[in-house]
Every structure is written in C-alpha cells, then in structure tokens.
Amino acid sequence: MAAPKDLALRFPGDFLFGVATAAYQIEGATREDGRKPCIWDAFSKMPGRVYQQHSGDTACDHYHLWESDLDLIKSLGVDAYRFSIAWPRILPDGRGPVNDKGLDFYDRLIDGMVARGLKVYPTLYHWDLPLTLAGDGGWTARSTAEAFADYVEVVVRRLGDRMDALATINEPWCICHLSHLYGIHAPGEKSVEAFAASVHTLNLAHGLGVQAARSVKPDLPMGIVINAHSVYPASDAPRDREAAERAFQFNNGIFFEPMFQGSYPAEVLDAFGQHMDIRDGDLKTIHQPLDWWGLNYYTPLRVKADTNAGAVYPMAETVPPVPGPELTDIGWEVHEKGLSDLLKDVNSRYSLPDCYITENGACYNDEPQDGVINDQRRIDYLEKHFGAIADAREAGVPVKGYFLWSLMDNFEWAEGYRMRFGVVHVDYDTQVRTLKNSALWYRDLIKAHRQG
C-alpha cells in the first residue's frame, strides 16, 4: 500500500480534488418550496421498482442541512464540490413558470461554497426529470430537449456568474439504456423504440443545452459527464473481440461519436436509426465544442459474442466476473486497470478536451464499531484507482481532476438506502454524519498533495 505522500506526488500541483453528490439522492424536501414531483418520485412509489419502496422524500435532508454539509466538505480539504441542480425545483412543470424559491436555494448553496473557498461544479440534469414532461413522452419526445434548453438558460442566467464549470447531463447511458431499454431505472421502460428515441433526444438536449448556456455566459466552461464502459472480450477469439467492439459502440460510441465527431456509428444507425427522428442540423447541434468532459468509472464490462439466431445488435452477452476477482458489496468487479485502459482508449479514438474523473468510488456497507467506520476496502479501492489515473496521465491523457463518489451515503436509486458509497456515513434515522476512515485517508492524500 502506497503512502498518501507517494501517491500524491504522482499528480501535478494544479490537479483538482473534489467530492460529488446528486440532488435527488441527498436533498429530500421533495414537496417543499414549490418543487413538484419528478419521475423518480413516481417510480419509487411503484411496488417492486426500488428496494423496499425507498424514496428520496427525505434522503439525507441536505435541503435543510446544506450549511453543515458544506462545512463537512470544507473539512476534508477538497478544492471543489460537484453537485446537481434539481430541474423540478426550478421549473416545477419542466417548462413554463420559474420557481424563484428553487433558484433561491441554489443561490444560497453556491454562495456558501464560494464563501468557503470551494470551486463550483454543478450538473444540470442528474435524472430528476419533472414528472409533467413524462406526460409529453419524457426523454423519448423531442420537446423535452427543447424544454431542457429553456431550463439551462434560466439556471445560467441566475447562477452562472459563480460557476467554475458546468455539465449538461450526467450519465446518458443510464438515462437511455438502463431506464428505457432494461427497465431498471425510471421510467422503467423495456422498449427498443423508446431507447432509440431517448438516445437522440438526450444527445440533442446536450447540444441545445450547451448553446443555451453559452448564449448567456459564453466563457463558462461547458462539459458532459459520461459513464463510459471499459469493454473487454471474454476471450481472444475473433468473434468475442468483434462483440467487444460492437459493445463499445453500443454503450460508448452512441454518445461519444455524435458529441465529439458529429456523426453516429454506422452500425448504430443501421440498428436504431428508424426510431431516432434525426433531422437536418441535429448532428451539428449535438457536436458543440466542449471545454472538458467527465468520466464516471466503477467497474469493467466483459462480453462474449451472442451467437443465438435471434440475437440483436450489439450481439454481445455480458459475462459475469469469473470466480476470483474482488467484488464490492453491490457485486461490481474491482478492476482499476479498466479505468486507465478506458481513458487511453477513448483518447485514441476521439479528439477529446481535458478530462475530469467526475465519479469514482465503491460500495462497502461497513457500519460504525465504537464510533469508527473502518472501511479499509474502500481505501484500497481508491488507492488502486488513483494509481490507474496517474498511469493514464503518464501515458499522455489530460486528466485534470477527480471527484470522489460519494461525499456521503445516500439514496442509491433502485437499490434504495441499502447500498452505501459514501466516505461519510449517514444514520438515516438521526441524519448524523460520521467520517469513515476513507474520508480521513482522502483528507490526508489531499494534504500531502498540497504540501508537495
């Protein structure tokens, strides 16, 4: 195990260290100050969708505890805080009347960050689509992309003067694949047609959002956060390698190529183009020059060729981890090399701007013992992944910063509150926050980095 000092010395002096959260996962107060429901408010109330019908109704009560939470963040010594802005707080129906009380909350939050010397890294959309827009078709409807652009303009006009960088959308793959094809996240659809429509709507929303933000504040550094998959073939057989490449295009290229090259992968268009409503000028709109991009990485994807006669694109089957690798408590394989391999791969394929690791972390459900949470497995995970980032940097990938997921235990979507990713433990009955040993390790790493 490397000493924090040795690990810290592998990063340049201007490397940014931060923590990350998302609005629906921590804020609570879902019915306060003019906020109306989002798709996750509805989805979590449906039996069988979320573990024990947990919801974000209260979550970590960050809406009321934000000042002490910012003090907590400051105590870790981080440079920056990545959080998301809740669309249904700003435009409760998705479009139309602006809710000033919602903007007031983020005004206070951002002012509190600035007062504490924390850099401000918001994300505009982290999955809390206003429920009213679901009535128009949600992410399958082109009108949602236009509504998103209106929302972006409202936010940047009010809050953009204090932002250090802004992301349009968090994890397109989860919004499209996980939510519209596999049915695991809200709105819980299992439809190829809905999936294909959502992909293009989402890409278009990103492009329109960048344009809207820059129309208000042209110098605001704009980016997107992508949970790209590090894809490995199950064997060296040509058919498995070809399946891995198809899986790459299906999971990654479907977003990277339109955003960074202004086109869709040919195989993606062959498979889904008839459902995507691509119009003249759309790809130019999607292909906005970006100042940065964010990568969220947790675990690799391993695939083999799907040779069944009825196999559909990408004709690739997910292969479970072979017995032997370390798994986190959510069942994800620990494979830090996947992070460095992925960074090098996408940078060789596309012309990309500077990168930030916008999420990385691990689920370990350690509970307090005599007031101490000894989450050594999380420390080991983080140490390995910082090493992988340093490897990628030394190979020429411009990684400029890192945001640890997550600041604190929170509502973990379909898993409810049973899975804990935080470096700060939350007792959901009392809302007491307790720093885990991993938080102390991260604080020491940042301190060693500052001391150089």
pLDDT per residue as tens digits for the range 388-411:
999 999 999 999 999 999 999 999
Residue 406 and residue 19 in contact, taking contact as beta carbons nearer than 8 Å = yes
Residue with tokens 């040795």: 6
Active site residue 359: yes
Element (H, E) at 200: helix 192-216
The tens-digit pLDDT sequence of the chain (452 residues) is 667 889 999 999 999 999 999 999 999 999 999 999 999 999 999 999 999 999 999 999 999 999 999 999 999 999 999 999 999 999 999 999 999 999 999 999 999 999 999 999 999 999 999 999 999 999 999 999 999 999 999 999 999 999 999 999 999 999 999 999 999 999 999 999 999 999 999 999 999 999 999 999 999 999 999 999 999 999 999 999 999 999 999 999 999 999 999 999 999 999 999 999 999 999 999 999 999 999 999 999 999 999 999 999 999 999 988 777 899 999 999 999 999 999 999 999 999 999 999 999 999 999 999 999 999 999 999 999 999 999 999 999 999 999 999 999 999 999 999 999 999 999 999 999 999 999 999 999 999 999 98
**Is the CA virtual torsion 5, 11, 14, 18 positive or negative?**
negative
By C-alpha distance, which of 225, 258, 231 is closest to 247? 231
Eight-class DSSP state of 439: H
Q: Indicate the domain borders of the chain.
A: 4-451
Rounded CA-CA distance 113/122 in Å is 11
Residue 310 has a pLDDT of 92
Residue 155 has a pLDDT of 99
Quick one: tokens of 207?
A: 């492009």
The helix/strand/coil state of 255 is helix
**Which residues are paired to 123 by β-bridges?**
84, 167
Query: Catalytic residue among 171, 189, 383, 412, which?
Result: 171
The CB density around residue 192, as the number of other CB atoms within 10 Å, is: 15
Per-position DSSP letters for 114-170, written without gaps between them: HHTT-EEEEEEESS--BHHHHTTTGGGSHHHHHHHHHHHHHHHHHHGGG-S-EEEEE
| 399 to 11, 117, 310: CA distances (angstroms) | 10, 22, 41
- Three-point CA angle 59, 65, 68, nearest 5°: 130
Query: Catalytic residue among 153, 189, 336, 359, which?
Result: 359
Quick one: tokens of 11?
A: 């990063």
Q: Residue 374: CA atoms inside 13 Å, Cβ hemisphere, count?
A: 2
Q: Is the peptide bond before 37 cis (omega within 30 degrees of 0)?
A: no
- Three-point CA angle 109, 110, 112, nearest 5°: 65
What is the separation, in whole angstroms, between the first and last Cα of the chain?
Answer: 19
Residue with tokens 């609570």: 28
The CB density around residue 31, as the number of other CB atoms within 10 Å, is: 11
By C-alpha distance, which of 148, 22, 152 is closest to 82? 22
Rounded CA-CA distance 193/270 in Å is 13
Residue 117 and residue 168 in contact, taking contact as beta carbons nearer than 8 Å = no
- Three-point CA angle 364, 369, 372, nearest 5°: 80
Residue 1 has a pLDDT of 61
Global pTM reads: 0.98
Residue type at position 199: V
CATH of domain 4-451: 3.20.20.80
Residue 422 has a pLDDT of 98
Residue 117 neighbours by CB under 8 Å, 6+ apart: 74
| 95 to 132, 175, 222, 333, 386: CA distances (angstroms) | 9, 20, 22, 41, 41
Active site residue 383: no
